[in-house]
Structure 1
Amino acid sequence: MYALLRKWLNIYEDELALFLWSALLLFLIHIANILFNNMAETAFLKRYGVQYLPIVYMINAVSTFFIMGVLTGIMARTPDSRLLSYMLVASGALVGALRFVIPLGIDLLYPVLFLLKSQLEVLLALVFWNMANDLFNTRQSKRIFPLLTAGGVVGAILGSFATAPLAKIIHLDNLLLAYFVISVISAAVVRRMGHLYPTLLVQESAPVEKGGKKGGSRPSIIQEFMKVVPLIKESTLVKVLIALSLMANVVITIINYQFNFAVNQSYATEGGMIKFFAVFRGFLNIISLVILLFVGKIYGKWGLPISLLIHPFNYVLAFLAFLFRFDIYSAMYARISTNVLRTTINNPAMAVLMGLFHSSQRAVVRPFLRGTVVRIGTLLGSGIILFSGDLFHPRYLSIVAICCMGVWLTYDFILKKQYPKILLDLISRNMLDLKSLEDKDVIQVFRDKKMHAHLMDKLLSSRGEDCLWYADLLRGQDIPNFDDTLLKVLKKEDDRTRIGLMALLSPAEGKAAIPVFRELTDLNKPQLLLAMVKAANRFPSEVSQDFNREILEATQDPEVKAYSAVGLYRDNPERLFAIIQSMLGSGELKERRAGVIAAGESKKEVFVKTLREMVTMETDPSILSAIFRSLRQLADPELNAVLGGYFSHPSDLVRLAALEAFDIQDDQGLSAVIAFIGDPVTEIRTKAMEKIQNGAYQNPLVLVESLNLPRRKVREGLFQILEKLNIKDLDVYRFARSQVEKSYIYFTEVEALQKLSESPERDLLMDHLTQERKTKVENILRVLSIQDVSGQIRIIWRGLSSSDSRQRSNSIEALSDLLDKTLTKILVPLLDEMPSEERLRIGRKNFTRPAFGGSNAVLLSRFL
């Protein structure tokens, strides 16, 4: 069952416990939030009045700015797990206490509850996801975060459907106490997670800026605006994004007001309204769950400019529905349709547009849009509602909203019309960042007929690297007769560009390509010949056969000959086998190398044995490297064992080929590749780092432990890898805990050995185990000191090595204050002077102690 759950969720064994804890926490938070949300909204509408909603919206928008500023400053100094625990207890206690204020008849309590439910939902989500980002690295988050989100939505579904029956059993007001209970349980879960999975090992104080202010505070609206002004001036896309975000928040405020007003007039009692909210939001969350798990991004069918038109057009329909039929059915249509289209089409499309900017520009634009523009839009929407309150019925707000939609749609049409120009402008200004987008999103960015025409013109007029860039970009688009254009470009480009373009030709266009290949054939250009033969081998045999025969008979280059032979006889396996065997048995080195390459390209496992035998006989670096690549192509299961003996080969070519062919399958293999990071050849170092970053097998503990290696190049490379993989403090903690556990085992073994009769062998073994224990502790301190940018642990480490007992004691005290308590309580006893019995007790309490059963034979068998 356990294994099936992991397989179904696509979660690795060492991740499952952490995932389940995190999912449970988000599940509980969402249950509490939906109970509070339904209660607070019902109480506000029925006991205070829907007419006051715009004022509450305004206060909420302004208060968010100040609250977020305070929270950002706190988050810079406090571990997220601890902060979330405090927030859950504080929010639960505050909401629970307000339950006892209700009988006092203070009307202002209900706006306070409405504001609290809005603020707490956002703040708790922010801190939770910050904590999740500390617990999971980038690769893990891509797999696990959608599952966590689904767990939260399930909690919202259950909480929503439970609201009405729970309110009936315990009374509506007592839902505040239910929120308190669930918040306390959630806080207990967080505390347990903080104990099991610390997210901040070294306690850091926030930096102090000039003027005495602590760093990490949120910039003001004026500061955000000043940063974004230069981008507004030079980028049409920034102007469009600002307009779209502004209008979206204006109309969202209006349609939310109309929704609440329609619900309020449709249900005269609190019981009826709470039942509606419970069922409606339950089904709405079910729709969200289906979208999250099964629908995904469906905006890709039309391209970005068209996709961005769908959501505002639906808003127009929703406002027309309110205008002509202001009732609960229009309200439900408006809420469901806008939520679904926002989730499936608009938000993903807007995210792709935002992703076009470089990270430095996104860091300026995104906070401005999500902060300043959102607040201004909310305030404008609330002001419109407030101003219209005494003038006309809320149904006629639809007319004002449709005017706003006119502005929204105008900017959407501007984007559609100027989309090619905008993209080309971003490219020319080097503001376009396609690397941050997934391949499918890059395709959507350029899925526009006008854009295709512009890019085709650029392809025909560009040269060299620019030509390859445009060709590669257009290859992913569905453009008729694109290969004909590539063949035209091939004729006028230099050889290096031709080689790159040939790799982009599609297999279906072989008949048109072969005549061009013949025209470009030059036996004195082996690299160009090789590119043509490789491209020809992708074409059908009847198309490429004659060309391959011509090249095979004319060329003397072994690699070209190998590829042409494979292409010529791919439909005649017996003939191909005989030719390759003849090549492999040749006395000419070049001929044997051609045979090795052909064997790999043939994909025939029958050549594995022959190639393995050749490894032991060949000494030439070029043929050894070719053998390694061919064995990799043939998926030799024993290849790793063969390659291990060549990792320290004097030839750069052989070491690189061995590294490229090596498959990281376990910790030992990972450690072997880590050693390559210290290679004197830059290309080999780079390849090793890429292999570790992109490999299917990864173990952050091995990477962290390898920081102990005494080679500077290895440490620098590992830091780059750890940063790109987004390795967290949790991984460092796991490494430290594993080292501490081994230290306690060594100490236990030494204590057990002391009971044996004295002998030189026993004393030597005890000294060895004691030294191993000290080494493990030093490894922990070394890794922590490397991770600690402040340098405090390095100073403490020197103090721990001092012969002065006072200085050593002060260093232990400083380390206790600096490190997370979860690590301190198990590490410090290994450093401090204390009775052996006490140290053994701490070890037994926190780890599984090896069992010797009082038997000397069992003890000694551990060292054999």
Structure 2
Amino acid sequence: MLRIFFRKAFDIRDGELRISFFMQLYIFLLITVLLMVKPTINALFLSNLGAEQLPYGYILVAAIAVVTMFFYNKAVKRFSLRVITISTLVLFSISFLVLSFIMHTGILNNWVLYFYYLSVSLFAVLVTSQFWIIANMVYNAREAKRLFGFIGAGAIAGGIFGGYLTTLIASSFGNRIVILIAGIIILLCIPILQIVWKLRIRKLNSYIRIQRKTRDQSSDVAPFRLIIQSKHLTYLAAIVGVGVVMAKLVDFQFSDFANRAIPDSDELASFFGFWFSTFNVVALAIQLFLTNRLMAWLGVTTNLLILPLCIAIGCLLFLTFPELWVLIIIKGVDGSFKQSVNKAGIELSILPIPYHIKNEAKSYIDVVVDSVATGLAGLMLIFLIRKLDLSSSYITVIILLFLFIWVLLIYKLREAYFESFRKNIQNSLASNSVVTKKLSSERTVKSTIEILKSGDEVEILTLLDRLKDFRLNTLESHIVGLLSHPSNTVKIAAIQQLYLYKKGTAIFKIRELINEEDDTLVYVAMEYLLQHTDLNDYKIYESFLNSPSDYISNAALLCLAKESTNNKKLGLKYGLNSRIEKKIREFNSHESETRSEEVAELLIAIAHTGEEKYYSYISAHFNNIDPFVVKHAIKAAGITSKESFIAPLLDFLAEKYFRKTATKALRSYGVQITRTILKLDLAENIKEPVREHIPRVIESFGTKDSVRVLMRLLRSKDFIIRSEAAKSLSLIKEKNSNLPVDQRQLTRILLKETNYYKNSLSAIATIKKAENESSLHPLEDTDIETELQIARENILQILNYQLDQSLECIFKLLSLKYDQADIDVAYFGLKSDVKETKINAVEFLDNVLKSRLKNNMLPLIEYHIIETNEYGVSPLELSEMSETKCMLLLLKNRGVNTKLAVINLILQKKDRTFTKQLRVLSKHKNKKVRRSAMHTLQSLKREAIILQ
């Protein structure tokens, strides 16, 4: 019951409650001690030395912090964090016990007050810094984002308890007893630290050893240099520093006004204790009810803006009403938001930094930067109060200036935080993959000429393909020279390249090629003479149509058919139809040997005539045993754009050898083919091997209409079609970013796909539950039990495959809304084998996605990370349903394969409750679904008769 409460209230999952409780108790005790010693020492300091001594105290804090950090960093490199932390706790405990004794003996003087004022300042920054470093070791980025709010509530509760306890004890027993109890409470943190180390950190020994090795390799680098070398750490340190300066200025104003209003030290201590505790009550309410929600809504870095903006409003109010109650409000905002939203934001902001850097840099920021900023605040106050003799009210103007700088730094940190996660993922992926180098596509004219003169066939063809859209006069003679190349393929490419140059270029050389025994070369050469020279077309046809050479006469016939498409008189003049009929009779007579190239040319010629009476000849050659002829039959079918050819052309997409040709043929139909495809998809009547290639056909158009059709296919019931449609849309955008994609519609599709994914998870959970129940209560007939198990396993296999496809689809669609490089980084990070990389990928996405998509998608994406954790826990709340309801939903909303698998399960279960659904499916447009449903219906009827 308690676990359910914590899970729902604070999102604490199984296996996290115990460790989180101890972490919360640890920080609770630390802050309790801090809120006991700080107001007590501050009250003694102010009562004995006055508020005008505070600036000098600030400066001394800075100096002592720098010296302390020098020795502390040496200790960090030599000893473990646990040893250092325990030693720190023991040292401060002894220090406070000694102070209690001094106060009891009454020998408290100004030097002792200064010493303990400095000690408390160091205690405040050092032990809390150590705690948050440990917290960063205990939790990963995603866990920290969920749990730092809950743990931070312990710190605030400690502030409340410590403040009120100070008020109670100080007023009843005096300040020395407060310090005595604080010294004892610190020691209670040591066994808690030992438990935390045993529960979590000891299990991370291998990780710590790796980090320590990395740290040792960079141990010569000073913490200050580590911070300067990182924009992320630089901005974070600057934000901390500016925040401390601002807080000290606010604290000075508050303390100065309070000291003038309340001269008695015990009453002043009670005043501070009461208000510090009250501020923490407000902070606790914010932490429990707002922090996590604000983190999820605004993100880590944007949350840091809340504190400076609220203080700015308070400062403007103080300029109007310069009174103590306004300063209480400003101090309250600082105390409440600083310990809740702002503290969580600061601690989470350093998460992307590697551990070996974080350990040293964070301590430096928390102690040295904090203390130096305190000293800077002290110098400013001395200059303003002492030298210029200004009222503390003028400090408000300086606070507003620092708030402006603070806001600018937060915006800079936001970019650096995002970039750090990106780099972490990219570095991880780079270390686990082979980096390939791409050859530059740029070539000098000299190297190009060298290839044209002495390159091999592949090099020349590749180069000519790159030059197909460029006319370079310096290359003309070299391209003409290729007409003498030994490779006919090179000659053909060279002729096609010569279309870019002056009409009639190399006419004599090309005319000589007409006599070659290569069908394609002869046709290309003849077409060049017809289209790119001033030769008389009629003379060419008269010379070549009746040539005794089959190579020449077939090429001439194809050229005539192509030209007669727009010039029917030409076809009539030379008897195109009669020539084609004659060729068909010759090729069908089997009296002479017919070359494949001849048949191929005839098929293309038939297509160009537009005469439907010859189209059966094209259809007949779809089944030709020669793949070369089949390819040309496919090409011919595309040229005709005849609707009756669409179905066989779609079928050819399933065969890799013919896929490219079939795609080009289908593309020649134009956008009108999309109507046929959409009808087939709606009827779920596209064959399985063909489905994944359909979107590529539509993608090949690269138009607005193709985008619209692909968006429609994203609503298909078939997950393969949806996944491939998403890929095609992504490729279209990559090639032409100007093609518009309806973003609202895209968001709706994304949310629908997300819901589809979640339903798949629910279905998998339901089928697995049914499997487990079946194993607990097996049927007497083991054969039936086995068939049932196989049927369920088949459904699970299909659903698991759909999950992976659906996830890829989601990311492809996200790349249409956000920067594709960022989405690719997140996707490949999520697919990494390194858990830390996966976690960084999710956190990276958390910063990329907008709130609506983020709230719906992140739990699903995080599922892939958490499902394999050591506790086997899923963060996803899956809806429970019966197997019957699950099967009904799959029949209604899924594609053909899923329907067939579910119908098979109905058959094995002999479940007559699905009779109505089976009757509907028996009229389904897909033949397989229809037959399977009818067979199952008949089987159920026979079973019913037997039972009667």
Which band: TM-score by shorter chain? 0.3 to 0.5
- If the length of structure 2 is used for normalisation, what is the TM-score? 0.43
- If the length of structure 1 is used for normalisation, what is the TM-score? 0.47
Q: Which has the larger radius of gyration?
A: 2
